[in-house]
Amino acid sequence: MIRLYDTLTAEKKPFEPQEPGKAKVYVCGPTVYDFAHLGHARCYVVYDVLVRHLRASGLAVTYVRNVTDIDDKILKRAAENGELPQALADRFTEHYREDMARLGNVAPDVEPKVSEHLPQIFALIQSLLDKDHAYVADGDVYFAVESFPSYGKLSHRDLTQMKAGASERVDADQSARKRHPADFALWKAAPDGVQGWDSPWGRGRPGWHIECSAMSQAHLGETLDLHGGGLDLVFPHHENEIAQSEGASGKPYCRHWVHNGFVEVDKTKMSKSLGNFFTARELFERVEPEAVRYFTMTVHYRAPLNLDWTLDDAGNVTGFPQFEEAERRIAYLYATKQRLESLPAARVIDRPDVPAPEIAGFQKALAAALDDDLNMPIALAALSDFLKGVNELCDAAMAKKGKVGTKVVAAAREGFAALHGRLGLGAQDARTVLLRIRDRRAAAAGVSAAEVEQAIADRVAARAEKDFARADAIRASLTEKGVELHDGPDGTTWTMA
Ligand SMILES: [Zn+2]
């Protein structure tokens, strides 16, 4: 039984889709005018884990995540760049998809774009006009909040509270056209020279909120099983989606509302205007994308995620201790996976050994943690126990005359498969990841891989000539640089200390 906190009822409750066995999931996607930042990474890792967990629990999930490719921020940035708005939006949509893939997120089943759903948006606005939930004013169309008595139910506020907040954010012209200060635009007239589309109400652009109601209905029907997004979307975006969708259909819009917490830096919500903004790409230059993924899972998805970094005297960012720690965990994960994969066949025998509890119980522990409001920190604690168990298994196999049973090894392999299935971790080739981490650490320490390989070759030559003093001196000089040599039957390998 999966239980998730529901924003509408403000309680943890069982996730019960309308049609048993199926889950219609809609998540608000990005506005594509810039690169994805850590806030996006966190948000979409949360819903990726949710979708993976639902699927691993046997549900047939349809995952829809939109792309907002019509927006004032896109127009502004395109004008600054001197390029067409759609070209800018398409470019950043591609960058965004690349970044999400590098984080290990599965692609949504449907990724609808606003620019491709204008007919559905027109139809929904017309339906709201027909039902007197909306009105036309000077080429704009507004939703009349007073026509929808339960307006405010998601964000747990009432219309009197909204008057103050809403009236501050709109210009005087717009205020004069509205019947109630909290009324919001479904369609905005576009002045000449500004991007616009012809509509039954004149040339203009859709309001932001209407797109999600129109696109979710187009791809999932009138009632969704689960809608997700950042906490900042509860009001007004999701509140408005409910008003639009329920106003038009007369049916409940969504059975379960999930919202994730912010990324905070210096206890402040991460935002570009504060100058403390890191794109996902900038972070991927410094650490493995999978370490970024891991880091976002270290706190509960509803809690704020605080990011720390270190600075040099000139104020340049020198490091991210939390990412570095996460990367150490990822390196440990892959080193463990590599050990398990390279157990010699002669050490694994057909014997009815019982797996250690950390291995045998891992899949259940993982599922149970995620069932309980997607508790990823608890899932990572179970992972930590599992990896310890697998290392002990490898130690036992590699001990003098050591052997382990096939069932035990199979259980450990299944654990890795479950880890990938539910958390999206550990799916890459272990050797590739470990070498990449090593070479990045070496470069950060000013050590080049080619230089180390040359030194290893020189040491081999020195030993062949029985010049052990020189061989030892080469080793010592590498140790000084943080390079550790490992002599094995297949030659010498190296790691960074
Ligand atoms: Zn949305």
User: What domains are there in the chain, each with its CATH number?
Assistant: 19-269 (3.40.50.620), 336-430 (no CATH), 445-496 (no CATH)
* pLDDT: which is higher, 309 or 240: 240
pLDDT over 90 (residue 168): no
Where does the pLDDT of residue 170 fall: very low under 50, low under 70, confident under 90, or very high at 90 and above? low
pLDDT over 50 (residue 211): yes
Query: What pLDDT, on a 0 to 100 scale, did the predictor assign at position 223?
Result: 98
pLDDT over 60 (residue 397): yes
What are the angstrom distances between the C-alpha of 195 and each of 115, 116, 129, 190, 429? 12, 15, 24, 7, 46
Beta pairing partners, 349: 405
Distance 53 CA to ligand 1 centre (A): 22
Give dist(CA 299, CA 308) in Å, integer.
Answer: 14
Query: What pLDDT, on a 0 to 100 scale, did the predictor assign at position 167?
Result: 45
**Local structure of 284: helix, strand or coil:** helix
- State pTM to two decimals: 0.94
- Portion of the chain with pLDDT greater than 70, in percent: 96
Distance 467 CA to ligand 1 centre (A): 70
Give mean pLDDT, residues 421-450.
95
Distance 28 CA to ligand 1 centre (A): 4
Q: Are 34 and 185 contacting, i.e. CB atoms less than 8 angstroms apart?
A: no
Give dist(CA 125, CA 440) in Å, integer.
Answer: 53
Q: Are 382 and 371 contacting, i.e. CB atoms less than 8 angstroms apart?
A: no
Lowest mean pLDDT among 132-141, 168-177, 361-370: 168-177
* pLDDT: which is higher, 316 or 453: 453
Q: How many helices (H) and strands (E) does the chain have?
A: 18, 20
Distance 426 CA to ligand 1 centre (A): 31
Pairing status of strand 404-405 against strand 348-349: parallel
Query: What pLDDT, on a 0 to 100 scale, did the predictor assign at position 266?
Result: 64
pLDDT over 70 (residue 163): no
Distance 241 CA to ligand 1 centre (A): 8
Distance 270 CA to ligand 1 centre (A): 20
Query: What pLDDT, on a 0 to 100 scale, did the predictor assign at position 288?
Result: 97
pLDDT over 70 (residue 173): yes
Rg over CA atoms, the chain: 27
Distance 29 CA to ligand 1 centre (A): 7
Give mean pLDDT, residues 435-445.
93
Where does the pLDDT of residue 165 fall: very low under 50, low under 70, confident under 90, or very high at 90 and above? very low
DSSP 203: E
Distance 244 CA to ligand 1 centre (A): 12
What are the angstrom distances between the C-alpha of 452 and each of 226, 455, 466, 468, 493? 53, 5, 21, 18, 10
Query: What pLDDT, on a 0 to 100 scale, did the predictor assign at position 377?
Result: 98
Query: What pLDDT, on a 0 to 100 scale, did the predictor assign at position 332?
Result: 98
Strand-by-strand arrangement of the 268-269 sheet = 268-269, 263-265, 305-307
Q: Which contiguous run of DSSP H or E holds residue 415? A: helix 406-423
Give mean pLDDT, residues 149-169.
76
Q: Which contiguous run of DSSP H or E holds residue 65? A: strand 60-65
Where does the pLDDT of residue 194 fall: very low under 50, low under 70, confident under 90, or very high at 90 and above? confident
Distance 470 CA to ligand 1 centre (A): 66
Give dist(CA 451, CA 457) in Å, integer.
Answer: 10
Q: Residues 223, 228, 231, 232: what is their CA dihedral angle, to the nearest 10 degrees? A: -70
Distance 240 CA to ligand 1 centre (A): 10
Where does the pLDDT of residue 497 fall: very low under 50, low under 70, confident under 90, or very high at 90 and above? confident
Of the candidates 120, 96, 123, the residue with the CA atom closest to the CA atom of residue 219 = 120
Where does the pLDDT of residue 159 fall: very low under 50, low under 70, confident under 90, or very high at 90 and above? confident
pLDDT over 50 (residue 274): no
Query: What pLDDT, on a 0 to 100 scale, did the predictor assign at position 267?
Result: 52
Distance 212 CA to ligand 1 centre (A): 5
pLDDT over 60 (residue 271): no
Distance 99 CA to ligand 1 centre (A): 20
For 47-66, give one letter per residue: b (16+ CB within 10 A) or e: bbbbbbbbbbbebebbbbbb
Query: What pLDDT, on a 0 to 100 scale, did the predictor assign at position 169?
Result: 52
Give dist(CA 384, CA 60) in Å, integer.
Answer: 29
**Local structure of 399: helix, strand or coil:** coil
Contacts of 310 (CB under 8 A, 6+ apart): 317, 318, 319, 320, 321
Read off the pLDDT of residues 49-96 as tens digits, 9 standing for 90 and up. 999 999 999 999 999 999 999 999 999 999 999 999 999 999 999 999
Give dist(CA 335, CA 433) in Å, integer.
Answer: 9
Where does the pLDDT of residue 221 fall: very low under 50, low under 70, confident under 90, or very high at 90 and above? very high
* pLDDT: which is higher, 174 or 270: 174
| DSSP characters over 78-143 | HHHHTS-HHHHHHHHHHHHHHHHHHTTPPPPSB--BGGG-HHHHHHHHHHHHHTTSEEEETTEEEE
Ramachandran angles phi, psi of 327, nearest 5°: -70, -35
Residue 37: both structure tokens together: 């930042």
Query: What pLDDT, on a 0 to 100 scale, did the predictor assign at position 276?
Result: 54
Distance 299 CA to ligand 1 centre (A): 24
Distance 216 CA to ligand 1 centre (A): 9
pLDDT over 70 (residue 164): no
Distance 230 CA to ligand 1 centre (A): 10
Give mean pLDDT, residues 115-137.
98
Sign of CA dihedral 215, 219, 224, 227: negative
**Local structure of 218: helix, strand or coil:** helix
Give mean pLDDT, residues 127-136.
98
What are the angstrom distances between the C-alpha of 69 and each of 140, 280, 285? 20, 20, 27
Give the count of alpha carbons within 13 A of 199, CB side only. Answer: 29
What are the angstrom distances between the C-alpha of 123 and each of 129, 147, 211? 10, 19, 12
Query: What pLDDT, on a 0 to 100 scale, did the predictor assign at position 365?
Result: 98
Read off the pLDDT of residues 337-395 as tens digits, 9 standing for 90 and up. 999 999 999 999 999 899 999 999 999 999 999 999 999 999 999 999 999 999 999 99
Average pLDDT of the chain, as a whole number = 93
Residue 80: both structure tokens together: 């600054």
Where does the pLDDT of residue 192 fall: very low under 50, low under 70, confident under 90, or very high at 90 and above? confident
